[in-house]
Amino acid sequence: MDSKTLILALVPVILAGVLIHAVNAAIQKTTDGPRWWLAGTAAHGIGLGLISLRGVLPDVMGIIVGDILAAGGFLILLEGVARFADKRVPRWLLAGLSVLVAVGFPFFTWAMDNAAIRFAIFGVAVITPCLMMLPYLKTIGQRDGLPGVRLLRYTIYYFVAALVVISFSVLVFDPDMPSVLAPNQMMAAGILSLIVVETNLVFGFVLLSAGRSATVLKRAALTDHLTGLPNRRAFEALVIESFTAPPAPDVATAVAVFDVDHFKQVNDTYGHDVGDAVLQHVAAILESTIRETDHVARLGGEEFVALIHARSGATVQNVAERVRRAVQEHPFVHNGHEITVTISAGLVEVTDDHPTLTALFKRADEALYRAKDAGRNRIITAAA
């Protein structure tokens, strides 16, 4: 089968890829990646279509524009992968490859007509962005999981190896080939490889989007939508994981349940919008005050919970008291008016080798009620 027929065989594959990317881009509206994949696949497909029409179209379209679009599509795909990883491709790299493509193809068509060198330029312009995708794919895999990343990674390895072998073979064994469409077994093998690559790229990018959606849904299920803190389910998982780890020596551990004092009065006086802002304010203070090794979450309503540790001679009571003072010393400002916010807390130390969260929450709640009864804005520790 000749190269032109094989390139035409790519058309339905690329059309299907464009359609899939269009649907994916319409679904994945929170990230730019799928839109760039759509543009890159479309540009690459148009370029291959123009290449297949060499001899019918003028050389400026069939050779120069076709090669530029076919190779440039991979630069667009690279930018899409980087944006999907919440990063950006270095501008100097994109500029350098763009110059190589924009200058190299016209030069080796008009000034020095050499199809072998044009193909080598095409190889460099495609291999470089493919390899540049790998670190971005690693970032995506760490965030969203590996299925799509693995497929794309192996596809890139295969494609790069195939292009290197084919480019080397053409330059060494057939440096005077008249065109990429001329009968050539190596070129035919390269185009067959491209069919495999195009198919894998489409499904790989769709798998990346599926992994991202799963991550977003999982995060939403474990996050309090108002404060951005973990919710009770996430907190329980973190605490269970912490309890299963070997206890560190000389480290005291406690669960503290915090409650915003007179929160109903805030809602009644200023409205629920201000009440929500107060909860966000308190959440930010709690999150910034506890250590990175501790955990804080919102239980619901005006209640928060924290797993705290005390080290270097400190006590869990000291840690909880530091949190209480931080809230008291940072009033919430509404329309230039300061609203004093305080919290009460019930604290229960973890002394059992196999504690249960149900028991810990119950004891912490009992201590919290005592703190409320005692006048609020204070920490009460549950009896041993």
| Dihedral pair phi/psi, residue 340, rounded to 5° | -70, 130
Q: Which amino acid is at 85?
A: A
pLDDT at 93 exceeding the cut of 80: yes
Q: What is the CATH number of the domain that holds 359?
A: 3.30.70.270
From residue 292, alpha-carbon distances to 68, 251, 279, 351 in Å are: 50, 15, 21, 22
Asked if residue 181 and residue 89 are part of one domain, the reply reads: yes
What confidence tier does 179 reach under pLDDT thresholds 50, 70, 90?
A: low
Is the pLDDT at 95 greater than 80, yes or no?
Answer: yes
Stated as kind and residue range, the H or E segment containing 201 is helix 185-221
- CA neighbor of 256 nearest in space, from 309, 293, 302: 309
The number of distinct structural domains making up the chain is: 2
Q: 50-64: per-residue pLDDT in tens?
A: 888 877 888 889 888
Which residue range is the domain that position 95 belongs to? 3-221
User: Known catalytic residue: 302?
Assistant: yes
Catalytic option among 79, 302, 303, 349:
302
Q: How far is CA 284 from CA 11, 37, 320, in A?
A: 54, 37, 15
In tens, the pLDDT along 315-367 reads 899 999 999 999 999 999 988 889 999 999 999 998 876 678 888 999 999 99
**Per-residue model confidence (pLDDT) at position 348:** 94
Co-location of 78 and 182 in the same domain: yes
Domain co-membership, 216 together with 269: no
Run of H or E including 3: helix 3-27
Q: Compute the average pLDDT of residues 109-130.
A: 82
**Do 28 and 209 contact (CB within 8 A), yes or no?**
yes
227 in any annotated domain: no
